[in-house]
Amino acid sequence: MMSEYTIKIDKNEWEIVCGLEIHCQIISKSKIFSAASTQFGDEANENVSFVDLGMPGMLPVLNEHCVYQAVKTGLGLNAQINKYSVFSRKNYFYPDQPNGYQITQYEYPIVGKGFVKIGLSDGSSKEIGITRIHIEQDAAKSIHDLNPKKSYIDFNRAGVGLMEIVTEPDFSSPEEAGAFLKKLRSIVRYLGTCDGNMDEGSMRCDASISVRLKGEKTLRERAEIKNVNSVKFVMQAIENEAKRQIEIYEQGGIIEQQTRHFDPQTGTTKFMRKKEYANDYRYFPEPDLPPLYLTDEYIEKVKSEMVELPDAKKERFIKDYGLTAYDADVLTESVELADFFEKAAKGHDGKKVANWILGDLFANLNANKLTLDKSPVAPQMIGDLVDLISKGVISGKIAKDVFATMWQTKQMPTQIVEEKGLKQVSDSGAIESMIDSVLAANPENIAAYKAGKTNLFGFFVGQVMKQSKGAANPQMVGEILKKKLG
C-alpha cells in the first residue's frame, strides 16, 4: 500500500493534499515563436529577436520541434495526445513580459490526461495522475541583485519554449512529491525533451498545498508555492506549508487561497499575494496563430521514435540480468548509467557487474567528486574483472587491488594481473612447497594442532596466503593443508 503520511496535532489527524505544476524548458536550438537561440549562459540580451521583445508588427511563428518535444513528453507520461489544440493570450503586465501577455494554451492543451508510476521507500508504488501538458513561452529574467537601486532584465530567456506539466492533486506526502519529480526528471532526460536541471531553472516547480482532516471528501482552500528550484526544497515547502495550515486550523483560523514564496534559508513559506483567478487574465485565443492540428501519422511517427523509458528498462534489467528491483532502479536512473551497465554486463555475469558498479565504482566516483562520464574505469574493464574472478584467475580480494590499479592506470584488468603477477596460484606443486616451508617453520604449532588445538588451522592458511602474497588459491591451500596435517 501507499505510504501513510499524516500529521497529528492534539486529537485531530490531518492529511496533505498536493498537486504540482512543473515548467520544463523544452530542448530546442531556437525559441518557440522566433528564430533566436536558446543557448544558456550566453551574454545577457545576446539571443533576442524583435518577436521576443514584442516589437510592433512582429508575428510569432510556431517552432515545429517544440511541438514534437511536447508530443514525445506526453507519450512518455502515458498521456492522451490532443490532435486539436489552441494558443491563447494570457494577459498580465510585468516588465519581463514586454507584450503585456504570454502566449500559452488554455482550454485546448496539446496533451491531456496521463500518469506516472513512482516507487516509494516502503517498496510500494503509486500512480500519479497527469492532468495536462500545455506549451507556452517563457518570460525574460529580472535581475535584482546587481544594483541596489536598479533592476535589470535579460531577454535571452524570453520566448524559450516551455512545457507546463500539471498533475492531479494526488500527492499525500513530501516523499511522494520528491519521488515524482525525480521520476519526471529522469523521463524527460531519457526523452531528450528537457535537461531537467532545476538549479539552472530549466525545470521549475509550483506546489499547490492544502490539508484536510482524514476522512474529509472535499478539498479545502490551498496555497500555491511558486518557483521552487530543487527537489529537496519542494519537499520542505510541502512539509512546512502543511504544518502552517494545520496550526491555523487548530487555532480556529481559516486559510485563504493565496500565492506564497519558499525561503530556502528558513525552509518556510512567506505570503506573496492573494491568488489571481483565471478570469483576471482575460484569456482569449491568440489571433496571430492558427489552431494546431496533428495527424494520426504524425503522432505515430513520434511514437516510433520513442526510446526505452526507465520503467521498461528496469523490468528488462530484472529479467535479463537477474538484478534486484532496487539495483535495477538505481541503474536505470539515467540513460548514461544504464548504457554503462549494459556495456559492462554484455557477455558477463550481470549481477556481479552491477555489484562492482554500485559498490567500488560509485564509491570511487563519489570520493573523487566525479560524474560517470569522467570515470577512468571503462565498462569493458568491469566485465573483464568479473570474468577474472569467476574463472578463478584472481581472488575477490586481489580483485579489489586490481580495481584500485585500473582506477589509477586505466589498464584492462587482464593486463594488470599479467604485469603485476597477480594470477592466483592454482598449481598444486607450488602450493605444496609453500605449505611445506610454512610447516617446517612452525613445529610447535603442528604439535599443538595435533594435540587438539584445531583452530590453529586458520593460522596455517594465513601463513601460506601471506607467503604467496595473497595469490594462492585459498580453497586449494585448505585442501592440501588438511591432507598434510592428517
> Shortest gap between Cβ of 162 and Mn ion (angstroms)?
7
Stretch in the footprint of Mn ion (CB under 5 A) among 162-170, 311-319, 377-385, 446-454: 162-170
HSE (CB half, 13 Å, CA atoms) of 202?
18
> Shortest gap between Cβ of 107 and Mn ion (angstroms)?
15
Residue 206 within binding range of Mn ion, rule CB under 5 A: no
Stretch in the footprint of Mn ion (CB under 5 A) among 163-171, 286-294, 327-335, 416-424: 163-171
Q: Which of residues 264-283 bind Mn ion (CB under 5 A)?
A: none
Q: Which of residues 365-394 bind Mn ion (CB under 5 A)?
A: none
> Shortest gap between Cβ of 105 and Mn ion (angstroms)?
10
Q: Considering beta carbons, is residue 25 or 332 the nearer one to Mn ion?
A: 25
> Shortest gap between Cβ of 239 and Mn ion (angstroms)?
25
Q: Are strands 12-25 and 6-9 parallel, antiparallel or unpaired?
A: antiparallel
Lookup: cell for 377 = 574505469
The Cα diameter of the chain in Å comes to 104
Q: Is 141 in a helix, a strand, or coil?
A: strand
> Shortest gap between Cβ of 205 and Mn ion (angstroms)?
12
Q: Considering beta carbons, is residue 52 or 164 the nearer one to Mn ion?
A: 164
> Shortest gap between Cβ of 320 and Mn ion (angstroms)?
41
> Shortest gap between Cβ of 138 and Mn ion (angstroms)?
9
Q: Which of residues 125-144 bind Mn ion (CB under 5 A)?
A: none
Question: What does DSSP assign to residue 92?
Answer: -
Q: Considering beta carbons, is residue 164 or 384 the nearer one to Mn ion?
A: 164
Q: Considering beta carbons, is residue 164 or 176 the nearer one to Mn ion?
A: 164
Lookup: cell for 272 = 506573496
Q: Considering beta carbons, is residue 132 or 352 the nearer one to Mn ion?
A: 132
> The cell 528488462 sits on which residue?
316
Q: Considering beta carbons, is residue 164 or 175 the nearer one to Mn ion?
A: 164
Q: Considering beta carbons, is residue 135 or 472 the nearer one to Mn ion?
A: 135
Distances (CA, A) of 413 to 91, 116, 342, 396, 400: 64, 42, 19, 13, 11
Burial of residue 25 (CB within 10 Å: 0-12, 13-18, 19+) is buried
Burial of residue 426 (CB within 10 Å: 0-12, 13-18, 19+) is middle
Stretch in the footprint of Mn ion (CB under 5 A) among 45-53, 63-71, 164-172, 186-194: 164-172
> Shortest gap between Cβ of 102 and Mn ion (angstroms)?
7
CB atoms < 10 A from the CB of 312, how many?
12
Burial of residue 376 (CB within 10 Å: 0-12, 13-18, 19+) is middle
Stretch in the footprint of Mn ion (CB under 5 A) among 123-131, 156-164, 397-405, 430-438: 156-164
Find all residues with CB under 8 Å of 16, minimum gap 6, and list them. Answer: 5, 7, 171, 172, 173, 174, 209, 210, 211, 238, 242
> Shortest gap between Cβ of 153 and Mn ion (angstroms)?
19
Q: Considering beta carbons, is residue 164 or 170 the nearer one to Mn ion?
A: 164
CB atoms < 10 A from the CB of 125, how many?
12
Residue 164 within binding range of Mn ion, rule CB under 5 A: yes
Burial of residue 54 (CB within 10 Å: 0-12, 13-18, 19+) is middle
Distances (CA, A) of 246 to 10, 233, 237, 479: 11, 20, 14, 69
Q: Considering beta carbons, is residue 21 or 387 the nearer one to Mn ion?
A: 21
Residue 360 within binding range of Mn ion, rule CB under 5 A: no
Q: Considering beta carbons, is residue 28 or 424 the nearer one to Mn ion?
A: 28
Stretch in the footprint of Mn ion (CB under 5 A) among 112-120, 157-165, 283-291, 459-467: 157-165
Find all residues with CB under 8 Å of 475, minimum gap 6, and list them. Answer: none
Instruction: Give the CB-nearest residue to Mn ion.
Output: 164
Q: Are strands 87-91 and 101-105 parallel, antiparallel or unpaired?
A: antiparallel
> Shortest gap between Cβ of 409 and Mn ion (angstroms)?
52
Q: Considering beta carbons, is residue 130 or 422 the nearer one to Mn ion?
A: 130
Q: Considering beta carbons, is residue 95 or 462 the nearer one to Mn ion?
A: 95
> Shortest gap between Cβ of 28 and Mn ion (angstroms)?
17
> Shortest gap between Cβ of 23 and Mn ion (angstroms)?
6
> Shortest gap between Cβ of 420 and Mn ion (angstroms)?
60
CA separation for the pair 393, 462 (Å, rounded) = 20
CA separation for the pair 250, 406 (Å, rounded) = 61
Give how many residues touch Mn ion by CB under 5 A. Answer: 1
Lookup: cell for 459 = 593460522
For residue 137, what are the β-bridge partners? 161
> The cell 526528471 sits on which residue?
185
Q: Considering beta carbons, is residue 206 or 239 the nearer one to Mn ion?
A: 206
Chain positions contacting Mn ion, by CB under 5 A? 164
